[in-house]
């Protein structure tokens, strides 16, 4: 990039939190009593703040690093140093590019300058004239891992977590050399895993040992003396005593590798299609660059990366992802709207769970594992209690077998979970949650029995997915102690808890619920006591529109696939089967009772339930799916079929209308909380930014409500000019 472009870019960020490049000269150790192997320049990347403020890469950070590397290149040319290393402050190498900075680049040229600046700096690291080393002591994501990849050699700490190239997840491509270097270093199949499969699987990352096993790093050392061991290893490499082996490395010009490369790219494209329906441009662009650069030079690939990156920075999908990931998941989730002062929260030293079925057992395991307090389950007979406790023990054994839990932790967790047929065991509990049958009278009876036993300070919670918390509380002596605490299935994986405040729920109870969610490593969102709260109300409206189109005569494959442009994790009929048709119908009936014909109850669905049909689709021998004739014979259909486009638009408008009503009702504080709930509770794609930015972009918000949910620029380009040319 030109000097003028560089100056213009850095001037855009006068308030950047700069990650500084501190240089220290170290005399390398030498084996066998020989003199020092020479002077080694070690760069430590540090923003001067503690581990709660990760080091990131903005333009001024890159400029400083580039200046330091140029000075070291000159020293190497004079023979003053024998090698250069890069490491980071405790727990971090670098957490990647500063997304706030990248998001603020409003013009394509600015994004291009940012991409070119990174390549210019990293190229200096790769061409110092002496060997370069990256000592990966902690988090290394995106541009942070690409610094390491540009070095000649790499070590990694066994304690390092979160290594990866997550750009496909955030709407970009690895733009500073990773997409070129990684497949050559670890093989094309492994590279697709790191660049495509992991990011699109809930942004999965690599641990230090996993990165070493794949070949991302050349050596693995323990955290206690990681830097000392890395320097000693570097000395051995420089002296020739250590020769790193790279069994996964490939030469893309090798005829045997050509087919592997093509197959890996094809497998990546199939994975992207299955995960996103190609609704986001970034994953395909990653694979396009990888496919092209098999026959390109690194410089040619760098040019392609920069052009692609500059275009993607201007897409709504990228800006929506930054909104979802940075503004919502990273920020708003940590400061829940409407949550009382956390100082009001009470300590929880024992938890009671009413019920010992699957959901109750999952809750018991979660509470015991995360809070490390006694948890006792009850049910109506000993067989059910034993089954619930047995489930917890079996799940602990699975975690132990997968080495996700130590033997001591497994023993402690098992000992914490007990069961009883008597609710008297709740007498000294601080928090009792019910997970019994979704029937209001049953739940009211449970709470009446529990309240007669527990202390006046004990908090009562319901895991109801759709029933009125207010109605459950109306006969309690202390209705202020009841709170909704709605988990999503599977409990261990889904991060959302809808925290439901009934009219008389007091602040101390609510504050405790939020602190409890945090202690369980979940995100709590405050919701009003309205039928089905947030996630289920939106999902059932979506499923209801698709089901209605099917009942009206739309072919099943058309109705079920109509929403594929949304890039949802599964189709509506698949979701219904996963939730369970009776459960879905029960929630739909609750919503119909509350809101009328917007939530129509399908007679066809009821016929399937009455006849024990668990899923509309069944797999066929060739791997496809079909609806059996016996299932079709149970149902009757109208004569008003719709096209896929009509079903999509109908559903978009229904969702926009429903969310507009929810906001008017005050179900949550704002559209951001709707988005956070759908991302964390329903797996709504990050690249859509949540549901409201999507409905804004497709025009449904204005068609139905006459206005957008979010202002332009919050999760999209401030200007609505087309960016087609930017990503073509």
Catalytic residues: 146, 167
Strand 618-619, strand 625-626: pairing: antiparallel
CB 454 within 8 A of CB 481: no
CB 66 within 8 A of CB 27: no
Q: Which residues pair with 525 in a beta bridge?
A: 498
Count CA atoms within 13 Å of residue 350 on its CB side.
14
Q: Which residues pair with 378 in a beta bridge?
A: 354, 420
On the 0-12 / 13-18 / 19+ scale of CB atoms within 10 A, 675 is buried
CB 138 within 8 A of CB 44: no
Residue 578 makes CB contacts below 8 A (sequence gap 6+) with 570
Diameter over CA atoms, the chain: 90
User: Cα–Cα distances in Å, from 568 out to 520, 562, 647, 694?
Assistant: 27, 11, 15, 12
Secondary structure letter of residue 611 according to DSSP = T
Instruction: List the one residue out of 537, 547, 566 whose CA is nearest residue 661.
Output: 537
* H-helix or E-strand spanning residue 278: none
Strand 618-619, strand 20-28: pairing: unpaired
Phi and psi angles of residue 582, each rounded to the nearest 5 degrees, phi first? -65, -40
How many residues are listed for the chain in this entry? 728
Token couple for 375: 């948890």
Strand 417-420, strand 83-88: pairing: unpaired
**Rounded distance between C-alpha atoms, residue 146 and residue 140, angstroms:** 8
- Ramachandran class of 689: left when φ > 0, alpha when ψ lies in -120 to 50, beta otherwise: left
Instruction: List the one residue out of 488, 513, 511, 512 whose CA is nearest residue 499.
Output: 513
Residue matched to tokens 């073509």: 728
* H-helix or E-strand spanning residue 599: none
Instruction: Indicate the angle between helix axes 281-293 and 178-186, nearest 10 degrees.
Output: 60
User: Cα–Cα distances in Å, from 113 out to 10, 109, 119, 147, 300?
Assistant: 10, 6, 10, 18, 17
**Rounded distance between C-alpha atoms, residue 636 and residue 215, angstroms:** 58
Q: How many CB atoms lie within 10 A of CB 565?
A: 16
Instruction: List the one residue out of 593, 676, 606 whose CA is nearest residue 634.
Output: 606
Secondary structure letter of residue 338 according to DSSP = T
Token couple for 44: 């430590």
CB 647 within 8 A of CB 558: yes
User: Cα–Cα distances in Å, from 316 out to 185, 619, 691, 702, 716?
Assistant: 33, 36, 13, 18, 5
Task: Output the CA angle 405-411-416, nearest 5 degrees.
Answer: 110
Instruction: List the one residue out of 203, 215, 201, 55 whose CA is nearest residue 138.
Output: 55
**Rounded distance between C-alpha atoms, residue 497 and residue 681, angstroms:** 8
User: Cα–Cα distances in Å, from 610 out to 499, 581, 593?
Assistant: 33, 10, 21
């Amino acid at each position: 990039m030109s000097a003028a472009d560089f100056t213009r870019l850095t001037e855009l960020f006068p308030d950047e939190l700069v990650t500084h490049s501190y240089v220290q000269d170290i005399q390398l150790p030498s084996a066998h009593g020989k003199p020092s192997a020479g002077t080694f320049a070690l760069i430590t990347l540090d923003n001067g703040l503690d581990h709660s403020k990760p080091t990131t890469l903005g333009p001024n950070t890159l400029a400083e690093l580039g200046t330091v590397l140029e000075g070291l290149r000159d020293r190497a040319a004079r023979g003053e140093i024998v090698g250069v290393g890069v490491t980071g402050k405790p727990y971090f190498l670098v957490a990647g590019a500063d997304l706030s900075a990248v998001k603020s680049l409003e013009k394509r040229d600015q994004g291009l300058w940012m991409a070119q600046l990174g390549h210019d700096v990293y190229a200096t690291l790769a061409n110092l004239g002496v060997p370069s080393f990256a000592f990966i002591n902690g988090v290394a994501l995106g541009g942070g891992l690409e610094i390491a990849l540009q070095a000649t050699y790499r070590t990694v700490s066994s304690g390092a977590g979160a290594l990866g190239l997550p750009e496909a997840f955030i709407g970009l491509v690895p733009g500073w050399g990773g997409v070129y270097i990684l497949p050559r270093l670890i093989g094309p199949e492994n590279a697709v895993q790191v660049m495509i499969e992991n990011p699109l699987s809930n942004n999965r990352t690599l641990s230090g040992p996993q990165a070493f096993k794949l070949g991302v790093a050349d050596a693995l050392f323990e955290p206690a003396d990681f830097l000392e061991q890395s320097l000693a290893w570097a000395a051995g490499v420089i002296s020739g005593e250590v020769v790193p082996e790279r069994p996964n490395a490939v030469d893309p010009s090798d005829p045997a590798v050509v087919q592997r490369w093509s197959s890996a790219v094809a497998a990546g494209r199939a994975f992207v299609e299955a995960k996103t329906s190609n609704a986001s441009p970034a994953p395909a662009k990653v694979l396009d660059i990888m496919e092209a650069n098999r026959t390109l030079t690194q410089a040619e690939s760098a040019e392609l990366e920069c052009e692609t990156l500059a275009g993607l920075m201007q897409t709504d999908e990228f800006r929506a992802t930054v909104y979802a990931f940075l503004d919502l998941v990273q920020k708003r989730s940590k400061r829940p709207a409407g949550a009382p002062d956390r100082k009001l929260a009470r300590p929880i030293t024992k938890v009671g769970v009413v019920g010992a079925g699957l959901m109750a057992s999952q809750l018991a395991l979660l509470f015991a594992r995360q809070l490390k307090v006694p948890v006792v389950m009850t049910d109506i007979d000993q067989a059910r209690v034993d089954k619930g406790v047995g489930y917890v023990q079996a799940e602990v054994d699975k975690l132990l077998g997968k080495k996700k839990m130590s033997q001591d932790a497994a023993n402690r967790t098992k000992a914490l979970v007990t069961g009883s047929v008597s609710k008297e065991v709740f007498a000294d509990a601080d928090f009792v949650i019910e997970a019994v049958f979704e029937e209001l009278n049953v739940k009211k009876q449970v709470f009446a029995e529990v309240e007669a036993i527990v202390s006046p300070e004990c908090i009562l919670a319901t895991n109801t997915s759709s029933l009125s918390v207010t109605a459950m509380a109306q006969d309690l002596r202390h209705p202020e102690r009841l709170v909704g605490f709605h988990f999503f299935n599977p409990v261990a994986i889904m991060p959302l808890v809808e925290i439901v405040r009934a009219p008389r729920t007091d602040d101390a109870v609510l504050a405790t619920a939020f602190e409890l969610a945090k202690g369980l490593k979940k995100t709590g969102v405050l919701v009003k006591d309205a039928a089905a709260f947030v996630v289920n109300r939106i999902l059932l409206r979506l499923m209801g529109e698709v089901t209605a189109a099917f009942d009206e005569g739309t072919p099943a494959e058309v109705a079920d696939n109509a929403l594929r442009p949304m890039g949802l994790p599964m189709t509506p009929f698949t979701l219904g089967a996963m939730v369970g048709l009776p459960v879905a119908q029960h929630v739909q009936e609750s919503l119909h009772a509350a809101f009328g014909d917007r939530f129509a109850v399908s007679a066809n669905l009821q016929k399937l339930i009455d006849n024990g049909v668990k899923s509309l689709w069944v797999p066929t021998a060739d791997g496809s799916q079909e609806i059996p004739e016996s299932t079709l014979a149970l149902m009757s259909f109208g004569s008003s079929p719709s096209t896929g486009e009509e079903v999509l638009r109908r559903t978009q408008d229904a969702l926009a209308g429903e969310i507009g009503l929810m906001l008017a009702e005050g179900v949550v504080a704002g559209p951001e909380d709707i988005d956070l709930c759908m991302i964390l509770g329903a797996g709504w794609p990050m690249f859509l930014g949540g549901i409201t930015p999507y409905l804004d972009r497709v025009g449904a918000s204005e068609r139905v409500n006459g206005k957008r949910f979010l202002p332009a620029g919050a999760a999209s380009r401030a200007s609505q000019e087309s960016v087609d040319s930017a990503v073509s």
